[in-house]
């Protein structure tokens, strides 16, 4: 199955900067791994949680 192309919902751009990080809960009890795809044109940020997405670019 082919992966769909990631497209910015604001400007339609298909080039993104990929950043990885961690979000902690308010009290630090839980932590979540996230991948942020940042649009190269308008800088809109798409959030993906814990690599459970159809846009898993690894």
- Sketch out the chain's domains with CATH numbers: 1-58 (2.20.25)
pTM over 0.85: no
Evaluate whether 32 touches 47 at the Cβ level (below 8 Å): no
pLDDT beyond 60 at 2: yes
Residue-wise pLDDT for 3-48, tens only, equals: 789 999 999 999 999 999 887 877 777 777 888 999 999 999 998 8
Quote the mean pLDDT of the chain: 83
Question: Which strands sit side by side in the sheet containing 31-39, from one edge to the other?
Answer: 16-24, 31-39, 45-49
């Amino acid at each position: 199955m082919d992966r769909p192309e990631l497209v910015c919902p604001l400007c339609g751009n298909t080039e993104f900067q990929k950043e990885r990080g961690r979000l902690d809960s308010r009290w630090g009890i839980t932590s979540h791994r996230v991948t942020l795809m940042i649009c190269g044109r308008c800088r809109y940020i798409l959030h993906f949680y814990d690599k459970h997405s159809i846009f898993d670019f690894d």
